[in-house]
Amino acid sequence: MIITDTGVPEKHIAYDEWGGETMRRLEDGWCSALDRETYLCTIYEQRPWICREFEVGSYECLVERQELDNYQNNSLG
């Protein structure tokens, strides 16, 4: 959930069933603001607080990246 207004562009915002703001995910689960080639956030200066608190290289980050890699590998056949 996007808790505070940090300037996230509207095209990257989705709304949950209760009307709460969340970061938009693409059909394959990727964040719409993440550059797939560089793994860099394309809206870094405007990213929501939850992203600011998610430490790059942390255990949680590495798990998310591994899950995305597994998803992509399984989708390719």
- Separation CA 35–CA 31 (nearest Å): 9
Contact 29, 71 (CB under 8 A): yes
For residue 63, what are the domain limits? Answer: 10-75
- Would the pTM of this model clear 0.75, i.e. be above it? no
Reported confidence tier of residue 76, pLDDT bands at 50, 70, 90: low
Beta strands of the chain (E only): which ranges? 13-15, 21-23
Confidence at residue 12, expressed as pLDDT on a 0 to 100 scale:
93
- Average pLDDT across the chain, whole number: 84
Is 2 within a domain? no
Is 29 within a domain? yes
Question: What tokens were used for 37?
Answer: 């080639």
The total number of structural domains in the chain stands at 1
| H helix intervals, 8-58 | 49-53
Looking at the predicted structure, is the pLDDT value of residue 4 above 80? no
Taking the chain, what is the end-to-end CA distance rounded to the nearest angstrom?
33
